[in-house]
Amino acid sequence: MTTPRPRPEVLTISPYIGGESELPGINRTVKLSSNEGAFGVPPGAQAAIRRAADDAFRYPDGGADALREAIGRRWGLDPARIVCGAGSDDLIYQFCLAYGGPGRDIVMSAHGFAIYFIAGTYAGSRVIKVPERNLTADVDAMLAAVSPATRLMFLANPNNPTGSMVPHEEVARLRAHLPPEVLLVLDSAYAEYVTRADYDPGVRLVDATDNTVMTRTFSKVFGLGGMRIGWCYGPPDVIDVLNRTRGPFNVSVAAQAAAIAALAEPGWVEKGRDHNTAWRPKLAEGLAAAGIKVWPSEGNFVLADFGTPAKAEAADAWLRQRGIIVRRVGGYGLPHCLRITVGLAEEVQAVVEGLAAFLAGRQGD
């Protein structure tokens, strides 16, 4: 008997493992596993989602015109060069399906965001993972990995799960030495959290070239991960391609309304960024004081390095027993590490105290 079968590469994809949100038997959990904004959903966005209930029988505006206008105003960008998606993941899939495919290689860094590998493999591309230097994308190695078959390169900046950032000058050097037929996707999901002066989310390169796009999301500082909404800014030809390939109604009525309201929420981004700027160092220092190596991060999370997979696993199990969920990153080739989101003040304190107690109980090993 024959049964329906996908293309063979499809079954080489391992399902994406998201951050867990519940623990059996524990009713109040501290969830620090998905880099969601510490302050939840902006109040204005909550009201907009409720109001959207009345309109949910109607199809959404397929062009997301009002939202693109609002994004354009916020960042000083031409709305005609913006496309919205059901999360930036949706847009990453579109890039892979449209610009990748059999015989078209995709390049990413070794510990880059998992969706690039999943979406690229799904498209039929070979996805090449390039070794990093100090858990940071290595521009020279990325360039060396390019072949005549390369059509797409992804760079998350800052990267998840490592937190590392590539300065604008280095990203510009990468672009300058890439062949013109390679589309460079700069994934700036954490841009709002970055305070370093040598950072650019990608706007400068998008404006200066015709083969670079930037993706952004409402899932992190804007507190709308559950609504699924992201966007990209790119050159007219790339925008034209995405408007052909994307789902015609890819962003729901409620998501569009929520995102517009989140943009209008007074002081929301500043509050999230300021909290992160104050509490990320407290998290890092607290862990370091307990004897855990912490990698430098520009995002709303840190990568805690326990040295061995066994110790990282034991630390994770210990935290779970105390109702604290962080993220295991073995799937990213980092089985000796845990990724921990910067939560509210009491959540940061809880995870620091939990891990300090864990290590105190293991002295000598």
Ligand X SMILES: *Cc1c(COP(=O)(O)O)cnc(C)c1O
Question: Which chain residues interact with ligand X by CB under 6 A?
Answer: 35, 87-89, 113, 156, 160, 187, 189, 217, 219-220, 225, 230
**Run of H or E residues at 345:** helix 345-360
Q: With contact defined as beta carbons under 8 Å apart, do 323 and 29 qualify?
A: yes
- Closest CB to ligand X among 230 and 354? 230
- The span from the CA of 364 to the CA of 246, in Å, is 55
Least spacing, CB of residue 160 vs ligand X, in Å: 3
- The helices-and-strands tally (H runs, E runs) of the chain is 12, 13
- The span from the CA of 309 to the CA of 338, in Å, is 10
Least spacing, CB of residue 155 vs ligand X, in Å: 10
| Spacing of C-alpha 285 from chain mean position | 24
Q: With contact defined as beta carbons under 8 Å apart, do 294 and 303 qualify?
A: yes
Least spacing, CB of residue 205 vs ligand X, in Å: 17
- The span from the CA of 333 to the CA of 313, in Å, is 14
Q: Closest residue (Cβ) to ligand X?
A: 87
Least spacing, CB of residue 218 vs ligand X, in Å: 7
- Closest CB to ligand X among 125 and 159? 159
- Closest CB to ligand X among 214 and 257? 214
- Closest CB to ligand X among 323 and 330? 330
Task: Report cis status (omega within 30 of 0) of the bond before 6.
Answer: no
- Closest CB to ligand X among 190 and 358? 190
- Closest CB to ligand X among 224 and 359? 224
Least spacing, CB of residue 116 vs ligand X, in Å: 9
Least spacing, CB of residue 358 vs ligand X, in Å: 26
Tell the residue number behind the tokens 């500043």, with chain if given.
Answer: 270
Task: Report cis status (omega within 30 of 0) of the bond before 161.
Answer: yes
| 32: nearest Cα among 273, 345, 354, 343 | 343
